[in-house]
Amino acid sequence: MENEIRRQKTVEELRAKLKDKKRIVVKIGSSSLQHPETGDLDYTKMDILVRELCNIRNQGKDVILVPSGAIGCGRKALHIKPPFTIAQKQACAAIGQARLMTTYQRIFSEYNHQAAQILLTKNTIEADLNRKNAQNTFNELLAMEVIPVVNENDTISTFEVEDVIGDNDTLSAIVTALVGADLLILLSDIDGLYTDDPRRNPAAKYIPIVEDITDELLSMGKASTGSSVGTGGMETKLTAAKIATYSGADMVIANGGDVRVIHRIIEGRDYGTIFKANRDKNFNFTDFIDNLHRA
């Protein structure tokens, strides 16, 4: 009981500080931006998402968007059905990424803001010179009050092998570490972190706050499965949490079904699971990434 009261107090204190965050990364999964019936883009949701981000920018905060959906969008454009070869997925990404970016640029400009595209690979992050260049570009864009829109460069990253980041949960945490952001918001089709998948296990319990990413938590994440649309289940979200919190950022996992949740989170309201920043000076995110997918 005492523990419960203490935890509740910590959640409230942490949430109250979210309004002071200065550099925010928002990741949104493809399932949150598509019509479930057809898989086509939901322009209304994209519009609200961009409006939310422009409003953050208008408050003088830096904001970065990491949306998924390049491959899905290319697939829709080509009218092809799975199973896909690696080359087909890469071709889909080439088409879909350009389509997505065109749409984002148009909507951002409706709100008088500039969007910029940054495509990263695992190799870019690992190579010192490339990483430094990426960092400089991010910092320059943010200083210019531009909103970077980031994805993995899926057209040249080789899927299903070691040389890929592979999911945008992890990618968004890498971006958070790279730019020294102080908040990462992960939006997906689930309200937050549960002890198991609540859609399959009605006994699954909601976890409002994570102060430490324990082995117990990691094994829970491994056992649960994710949405059928994107690639990120709970496991990738916990990997993201490690990278983000050890690099000094708080992280929130929330439901992107209503994208207005973004400003509600930043106002400190009770949405999603909050992961407390836990900077570890021995944590080297480039080494961590180097070991991703290496068993």
Contact set with ligand GLU (CB under 6 A):
30, 68-72, 151-152, 154, 167-168, 230-232
Closest to ligand GLU by CB, 167 vs 235, is 167
How near is the Cβ of 60 to ligand GLU at its closest, in Å?
29
Measured CA to CA, the distance from residue 108 to residue 146 in angstroms comes to 10
How near is the Cβ of 8 to ligand GLU at its closest, in Å?
32
Closest to ligand GLU by CB, 68 vs 247, is 68
Measured CA to CA, the distance from residue 84 to residue 132 in angstroms comes to 35
How near is the Cβ of 42 to ligand GLU at its closest, in Å?
16
Encoded tokens for 169: 């949960």
Contact assessment for residue 230 and residue 191, using Cβ atoms and an 8 Å cutoff: no
Neighbours of 270 (CB within 10 A): 11
Contact assessment for residue 180 and residue 21, using Cβ atoms and an 8 Å cutoff: no
Closest to ligand GLU by CB, 114 vs 227, is 227
Closest to ligand GLU by CB, 18 vs 108, is 108
How near is the Cβ of 166 to ligand GLU at its closest, in Å?
7
How near is the Cβ of 243 to ligand GLU at its closest, in Å?
15
Query: Which amino acid belongs to residue 76?
Result: K
Closest to ligand GLU by CB, 69 vs 192, is 69
Measured CA to CA, the distance from residue 158 to residue 183 in angstroms comes to 29
How near is the Cβ of 118 to ligand GLU at its closest, in Å?
13
Contact assessment for residue 66 and residue 168, using Cβ atoms and an 8 Å cutoff: yes
Give the up-direction half-sphere exposure of residue 194: CA atoms within 13 A in the CB hemisphere: 20
Closest to ligand GLU by CB, 155 vs 278, is 155
Neighbours of 150 (CB within 10 A): 24
